[in-house]
Amino acid sequence: MVEYDLNQVFQALSDPTRRAIIDRLAKGEATVSHLSRPFSLSLAAVSKHLGVLERAGLVTREARGRERVCRINPAALEDAWGWLSFHERFWTDRLDALEAQVGPKSGGSGSEEPQ
């Protein structure tokens, strides 16, 4: 199994345009020109975004005649999801343990003065 550099994956996903491209590709493959339509960006700018996604392993591009067809690579997203899931479980367990130590929440309005 290929392990993707999580720094590159999260850096690539930090941009809203690139996340929108990933969202679109999750529905199926698309050409670069088709991907550029929803954005007020040139084909060159969209191609640069695709290059970042490609270097992170999130997207693959294939030449078909004069067109470049893009598709998502779910394996890179799985690595990121694994990292996020681990930390979600870690913090959920920690916060549950803290809540157990502190005790149940009081049903009061919070306006009572301590004695």
Domain 1-102: give its CATH code: 1.10.10.10
Residues 6+ apart with CB under 8 A from 52: 11, 12, 15, 18
Q: Has this prediction a pTM greater than 0.75?
A: no
pLDDT value of position 1: 39
Whole-angstrom Cα distance, residue 33 to residue 64?
13
Say if residue 115's pLDDT is above 60.
Answer: no
pLDDT value of position 15: 96
pLDDT averaged over every residue in the chain: 85
